[in-house]
Amino acid sequence: MKLRYVLTRIFYALIILFVVISLNFLLPRLIFTDPAEPLLRGIPEDDLILRAAVRAEYGLDGSLFRQYFVYLGKMFTFDYGRSYVYKAPVFSVMFSKIPWSMILSLSAMLISVITGIHVGARAAKHRGKRPDKVLLGAATLTTALPSFWIALVFMMLLCFAVPVFPFRGAMTEGYSLTFHEWIFWIGVLLGVVAAGVSYYFTKKVFLLFVVPVGAFVLSALIAVPPADLADIAYHSILPIFVLCIGSIVSYALMVRNSMIAAVNEDYVTTARAKGLSERQVLFGHTLRNALLPMVTSIGMSMAGVFGGSVLIEKIFAWPGMGGLLLEAQNVGDFQLAQGIMFFYSFVTIVCNLLTDFVYHRLDPRVKLA
């Protein structure tokens, strides 16, 4: 991959980021004539000292340019302001909720990618027959029915009519999560060391990525006591299931369409002529090429992985980023909502960038437009 290409894309992404930050800055100033108004709502009007102090704290004093530069500086030091409801910096509030969203969305993504590929490949192999028809029928259902409605129906079925699963929260009520921090960090450290050592001996690059991530997940699992883990797992089954339904169908459909289109290509005929078995042709050649659009799709949905699905988290009362956004709306915590908006944009930009790189690496035919 050309260095020039990489740098151009990064530069371009930075420009977009810059524009989004500026929009974020202008937003309250466009909505209100006095952007300090929502922050000053609780303070009596004759308390001028306090009002001036609040203005200074949120950087709303001084000329517009001065405010803008102060704001830019704050963005780069990750100072997104202070949530007045949580009485803590917005950054730390958001970061405490992201792991919860990731539990749901990463698990759902893993399961749906693997299952989706299998289902889609099978449907492509038996095109026109039962598996294909089932997939196409499921596709119509899931695109036409809103995802939150499917969640509601399953909740009614499995939580109330036949009370199998719990219907709220991530843990049984009244219990809080115990997390042994030092075990966690030791595990991560060991993982990084192991990655370096294994790379040194085997010279395989993918180990550098896979081993630390694996160590991260493993130490997280060890640092939480098993009763808590089981509790969280039990509570997450239904939300993950609901999230998977839509994803599986869409990935499967994508794979199926790509494989059907690929089957008509020349290289498939060549492979068959070479004498390869049908299975090898399908999974060795066509699948690899069919995965390309899936890579794009996965990349685009990474922002959702960090941000969580607002609808599902509302229905199941899951304490993730989506729930945080709704809470900010209910309570009127403006700083929090703005911080979340910026975070979503940031993650989207970064994920688009990485997707571009990965896609280009996988398919060099793509033009650099």
Phi, psi (5° rounding) for residue 83? -80, 125
Q: Is 303 in the site for other proteins (CB under 8 A)?
A: yes
Q: Which residues pair with 89 in a beta bridge?
A: 82
| Minimum CB distance to other proteins smaller for 77 or for 330 | 330
Identify which of 308, 289, 299 has the alpha carbon closest to the alpha carbon of residue 353: 299
Count of residues making up the chain: 369
Q: Please state the three-class secondary structure of 207-230 as a single string.
A: HHHHHHHHHHHHHHHHHCCHHHHH
Q: Is 234 in the site for other proteins (CB under 8 A)?
A: yes
Q: Is 171 in the site for other proteins (CB under 8 A)?
A: yes
Q: Which of residues 134-163 bind other proteins (CB under 8 A)?
A: 140-141, 143-149, 152-153, 155-156, 159-161
- Among left, alpha and beta (phi > 0; psi -120 to 50; other), residue 275 is left
From residue 2 to residue 41, the character string flagging contacts with other proteins as x (rule: CB under 8 A) and all else as - is: --------------x--xx--x---x---xx-----x---
Q: Is 122 in the site for other proteins (CB under 8 A)?
A: yes
Q: Which of residues 314-333 bind other proteins (CB under 8 A)?
A: 314-315, 317, 319, 325-326, 328-332
Rounded to a whole number of angstroms, the CA Rg of the chain reads 25
Burial class (CB in 10 A: 0-12, 13-18, 19+), 24: middle
Q: Is 180 in the site for other proteins (CB under 8 A)?
A: no
Question: Which residue of 167, 199, 216, 283 would you call a contact of other proteins, by CB under 8 A?
Answer: 167
Q: Which of residues 76-115 bind other proteins (CB under 8 A)?
A: 82, 85-88, 115
From residue 241 to residue 280, the character string flagging contacts with other proteins as x (rule: CB under 8 A) and all else as - is: ----------------------------------------
How far apart are CB 193 and other proteins at their closest, in Å? 31
Report the alpha-carbon distance of residue 355 to residue 183 in Å, rounded.
Answer: 33
